[in-house]
Structures are given as structure tokens and as C-alpha cells.
Amino acid sequence: MDQLKDDVISYLQEKKTTILERWDKKAMHPPDQTGSGQLSTNSVGRFILKVALHGLSLSKAELENYLQANAYKLAKIKIKDNLGIETLVYNVNMARNMLVDELYNYPAHLKKLEHIFSQLLNIIDRFTFHLISHYCAIKNQMNEEKNRHINSSHEDRLTLLGQMTSSFVHEFRNPLTTVQGFVQLLRAEYPDLPYMDIISAELDQLKFRITQFLMLSKKQVVDQEKVVFSLNDLMDQISAFVYPRLLELNVSLKQELEQNLFVKGVQEEIRQVIINIIFNAIEVMAAESSEAVIHIKGYRKDGKIVLETSNTGPKIPDHLIKSIFEPFVTTKKTGTGLGLYVSKEIIEKHNGKLFCRSNDDWTTFTIILNAYDKQEGFD
């Protein structure tokens, strides 16, 4: 190190108290800077001054590692102090300005000090760069760990809630079955008793919702037997099932199905999926003043059965289309966000696909399943 630089370092060391006093008046002081083993704002000034002056005495090879290590140390300490990065950078820049101001008072021609000015500014600039980098990296790591903890806790609560709800739904299904049985007896003994059709239809829909939830909550140890069945016949059954709801909310159902559409699977599960899609459509259109129409189109294409269920309800926002099949995502005010998630799980279990597209005119849910011929079920 040349003699002039050595003299400048000694001079700045002697003026350290003056520099820190001036710096302290302009630095930002957070309201709470207490804490065992933590640096106060004034100590930050001494820390930066020490780094800058020692850095002047180091070679280029030594300097970068020295700045990296000390920037990491300061960033870690000030994060624990909960000091914002903007305050920290401001205080470093103030220390930089105080050093430069004092250097102007050094008794030597400024021309001779140019290389020292340049080196000092570079040291503090590099230190600031590493300080910001380490601060952001540490902060991001802390946020990721916090989010992992929050997500883990949330998943644990959902698991517990799911177990409790599943138990409740199981208990609820037993008296529901009893009520349905007595409704059937009443209809047999008093066929003209009013409102029995409405009661029966509402109970069927409640049973459907319970079955839908249980399909999500229970673990299937052994897959149910899959058989080849007529999608046309299934759609006739579904139409009869949803008819009271369509009539109640003045929704038109139009069907356009090719003949002899056969698929292989668990018929009750496929039924659950289609009814869920239709009920969703009915509910989203219930509050609309415009004409409510559900159009179901079924056809065979390239060895697949395609079933498209379209409705004239409001457009699903673009940002929700990709997440509409995720659990607890719903566009309905009273929706659980589980129906479409369960539906997608069922269709994918049948080696099929379920997806959605939506525009201002129609929202369409498309089911694609492997096509079968009737006789294949008897081979």
C-alpha cells in the first residue's frame, strides 16, 4: 500500500468520531433499535466505517470476499432488528457521503487523491450491492419457510376438518335414508298427498350432495368394477332426476346425442359427474335475468366419446379457468369448491379428460372418455 493511502486511512481513523457524529444526525433511526447482541444505528455507522477503511488496505483478490462476508453479516443482523432494506441502504449512503466530505478536508491536492476517492466509492458501492443481495436472499428464504409452515398448518387443519366433516356426513346419511324410506311408504299409502314429489326430489338432491362428498373423503381400497354401459340411457336417467330443479328455476335443457354411445366405467361415478356439472350450470344461471339454457351434445370422435355440457350463464373469468378444478375454488357464493375437483378426479380415474372453456355466450364443460361397442362388454 502506498504511503499516501496509508496516511489517508490514518487521517480518517483520527476523524472517526467527527464523521460518526455528523452521520448520526442525518441517519434514519428506527423507533425500536434495542435487542441483546444487536447493532444499534450508531453501531451500523462504525461497522460501515470499519469496512470502508479496512477495504482500502486490501488487494482486489482479498477485497471481494471481505465485502461479501461483512455484507452478509450486516444483512443478517439488521433483518433480525426488523430494519427495512430502504433504511439500511440510506444509512450506508449517508456514511459514504460523510467519508467523502471528510476526505475533501485532507491537506493534499485533490488531484493526488483521485485514485483513493475512486477506490473508496467502489468499496462502498460493492458493499451496498452485496448487502442488498444478501438481505433479499435471506428475506426470501425466511418468507419461503414461513409460507411452508403456513401451508403445512393449513393442510393439517384441512385434514382434521375433512375427517370431522366426513364423520358428520356419514352420521347424517343414516337418518336421511330413514326419511326417504318413510317418504316412499307415504307415497304408497297416500298417492294423492301433495308435495311428496317435491320432498322426494329435494331428498334425492341432498343424497347426491352427500354421496359426492363421500366420494372425495373415502379411500378406495379396491376399485369398483367397471362395466360397459349406454351413455344415452344414463342421460335419460339424469334428465328425469334434474327435471324438478330445471322446472323450479325455469331452465331449458336441450340434448343432442348420437345413438349408441357406450363407455366403460363405474356408472354411478359418471352419473355423479354429469349431474354435478348440470347442477352447477343451473345454480349459476338462477340469478341471471336472461334466458337460461343448458345444451348437452354427445358424439363419437376418433375412438372417443365427447360429451359437451354448455350453459348460457356468466363467463368464468380467464384467471379462474386454469384453477377451476382445484379444491376450494368456486365462482358461486355458496359453493364449496369441491364438486369440480371430485369430478375431474373421477374422469381421470376413468382414463378420460375433463376441461372447461368459457366466453360471453357459452360456458362449456367437456368430458372425453374412451368409446366402446356394446358387444365388448360381453367378451
Residue 373 and residue 229 share a domain? yes
Phi, psi of 87 (to 5 degrees): -70, -40
Residue 175 and residue 103 share a domain? no
Find residue 365's DSSP bridge partners: 309, 356
Q: Which domain holds residue 82?
A: 3-150
Mean pLDDT, residues 277-301: 87
**In this predicted model, what pLDDT tens digit does every residue of 159-208 receive, in sequence order?**
666 666 666 666 676 787 788 888 888 888 888 888 887 888 778 777 76
Helices 41-56 and 60-80, packing angle to 10 deg: 170
Number of other residues whose CB lies within 10 A of the CB of residue 284: 19
Residue 353 and residue 257 share a domain? yes
Residue after which a domain boundary falls, among 128, 150, 172: 150
Res. 250 pLDDT band, cuts 50 70 90: confident
Q: Is 155 inside any structural domain?
A: no
Q: How far is CA 196 from the centre of its chain?
A: 45
The answer to whether 206 touches 176, Cβ cutoff 8 Å, is yes
DSSP SS3 for 139: helix
**Closest Cα partner for 372 from 258, 263, 266?**
263
The Cα–Cα gap between 254 and 112 comes to 91
Q: Residues, the chain, total?
A: 379
User: What value, to the nearest 5°, has the Cα angle with vertex 371 and ends 367 and 377?
Assistant: 125
Residue 228 and residue 121 share a domain? no
Residue 88 maps to which CATH number? Answer: 1.10.490.70
Residue 265 maps to which CATH number? Answer: 3.30.565.10
Residue 95 and residue 52 share a domain? yes
| pLDDT on residue 333 | 53
**In this predicted model, what pLDDT tens digit does every residue of 34-75 receive, in sequence order?**
443 334 556 777 888 888 888 888 888 889 899 989 989 888
Residue 228 and residue 208 share a domain? no
Proportion of the chain above pLDDT 70, given as a percent: 82
The Cα–Cα gap between 177 and 171 comes to 11
Rama region for 37: left / alpha / beta (φ>0; ψ in -120 to 50; rest): left
**In this predicted model, what pLDDT tens digit does every residue of 330-367 receive, in sequence order?**
655 545 556 788 888 889 989 999 999 999 889 999 99
> Quick one: CA dihedral 233, 238, 241, 244, positive or negative?
negative
**Closest Cα partner for 350 from 267, 261, 292?**
267
Residue 81 and residue 142 share a domain? yes
Q: Is 166 inside any structural domain?
A: yes
Q: Considering the entire predicted model, what is its pTM?
A: 0.48
Cα distances from 279 to residues 112, 243, 309, 325, in angstroms, run 84, 11, 11, 16
Residue 294 and residue 211 share a domain? no
**Would the pLDDT of 19 be above 90?**
no
Residue 366 and residue 341 share a domain? yes
Q: How far is CA 80 from the centre of its chain?
A: 28
**In this predicted model, what pLDDT tens digit does every residue of 88-125 receive, in sequence order?**
888 888 888 888 888 888 887 777 788 888 888 888 88
Res. 216 pLDDT band, cuts 50 70 90: low
Residue 58 and residue 180 share a domain? no
Residue 172 and residue 53 share a domain? no
Residue 297 and residue 268 share a domain? yes
